[in-house]
């Protein structure tokens, strides 16, 4: 066989191999996208069902064969949900608790993280290890003791009982401390040589450099306050201090025990909307803050 013929055969083999690889890559990509689309449909379907249910009449909602699109679109369900459940008051209560607890928690978190990251004092590592060890204890174990404590203090049915017990978060302290550890210690030593106080260095240097993590902590803390259910249900049962999550439980049940499910779904959609907006517009800050903290130190 001549060299030219062998060259042609090798070229054909290469083309065949390249074609097989290209087809394989396309098939794999199609399967991956098909899987992702299927998972997206599974994840999004409950939200779609919530929206269409909130736009149905009660009779259509109770049909034995469910409809996948409202026969009559009832936007009035949203107005009725807002007035029936006093959503305005619930939003105000939740914002008071969320903003107050977030600001106070940020102050505690920043000061604690700075102390563990930069200050030197006896037993620092032991104290930090003990603090981390508390993360392995389920929070539910503290519910009874916390309930007894706040009852003895007379805090039930007040904003104080919704704010104070959860101001300290070991996870947030750990997250911010890891971020502070990535800032070169030479900056701190140079600032001390220049006579800069610890508080000024913290405010002027460490806080600006750790802003993505602080934004992430702020968002996560606000979301935690927004989603809080069990504790507010135990300690704040009066209408004046009810929050979003527990204020909707029986708001749409009439005297006969019937529930207006479309209006209830409309209320759930209204309550869920802020969290969707936070996730859509601020998700990059959450990811940036968590990724910047790393595992150093």
Q: How far is CA 202 from CA 159, 197, 253, in A?
A: 30, 9, 52
Please give the full DSSP string across 67-104, using - where no structure is assigned: -SS-SS--THHHHHHHHHTTHHHHHHHHHHHHHHHHHH
Whether residues 282 and 217 share a domain: the answer is yes
In a domain, 78, yes or no: no
Which residue is it, tokens 């135990």? Answer: 234
Whether residues 50 and 93 share a domain: the answer is no
In a domain, 115, yes or no: yes
Q: Please, which pLDDT band fits residue 32 given cuts at 50, 70 and 90? A: very high
Whether residues 265 and 143 share a domain: the answer is yes
Segment 267-280, tens digit of pLDDT: 888 888 888 888 78
**Residue numbers of the domain that contains 14:** 3-54
Segment 46-99, tens digit of pLDDT: 999 999 999 999 889 888 888 888 888 888 999 888 888 788 888 888 889 999
Report the pLDDT averaged over residues 113-126.
89
Rounded Cα distance, 151 and 93, in Å: 20
Q: What domain count does the chain have?
A: 2
Tell me 295's DSSP state.
S
Which residue is it, tokens 């929050």? Answer: 243
What values do phi and psi take at 197, rounded to 5? -75, 160
Rounded Cα distance, 68 and 49, in Å: 8
Whether residues 212 and 119 share a domain: the answer is yes
Confidence (pTM): 0.76
In a domain, 256, yes or no: yes
Read off the tokens for 90.
């619930």
Whether residues 127 and 242 share a domain: the answer is yes
Whether residues 136 and 39 share a domain: the answer is no
């Amino acid at each position: 066989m001549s060299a030219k013929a062998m060259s042609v055969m090798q070229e054909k083999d290469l083309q065949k191999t390249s074609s097989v690889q290209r087809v394989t890559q396309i098939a794999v990509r199609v399967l991956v996208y098909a899987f992702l689309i299927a998972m997206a449909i599974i994840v999004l379907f409950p939200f779609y069902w919530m929206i269409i249910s909130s736009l149905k009449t009660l009779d259509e909602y109770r049909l034995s064969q469910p409809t996948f699109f409202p026969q009559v679109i009832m936007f009035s369900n949203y107005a009725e949900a807002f007035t029936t459940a006093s959503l305005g008051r619930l939003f105000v209560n939740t914002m008071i608790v969320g903003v107050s607890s977030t600001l106070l928690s940020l102050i505690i978190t920043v000061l604690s993280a700075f102390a563990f990251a930069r200050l030197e004092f006896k037993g620092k590592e032991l104290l930090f290890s003990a603090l981390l060890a508390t993360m392995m204890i389920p929070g539910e174990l503290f519910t009874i003791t916390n309930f007894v404590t706040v009852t003895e203090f007379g805090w039930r049915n007040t904003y104080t009982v919704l704010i104070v017990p959860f101001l300290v978060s070991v996870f947030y302290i750990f997250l911010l401390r890891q971020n502070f550890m990535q800032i070169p210690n030479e900056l701190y030593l140079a600032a001390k040589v220049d006579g800069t106080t610890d508080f000024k260095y913290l405010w002027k240097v460490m806080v600006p450099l750790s802003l993505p993590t602080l934004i992430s902590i702020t968002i996560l803390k606000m979301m935690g306050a927004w989603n809080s259910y069990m504790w507010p249900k135990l300690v704040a049962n009066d209408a004046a201090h009810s929050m979003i999550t527990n204020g909707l439980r029986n708001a749409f049940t009439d005297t006969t025990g019937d529930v207006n499910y479309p209006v209830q779904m409309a209320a759930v959609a209204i309550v869920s909307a802020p969290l969707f907006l936070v996730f859509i517009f601020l998700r990059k800050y959450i990811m940036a803050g968590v990724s910047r903290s790393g595992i150093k130190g």
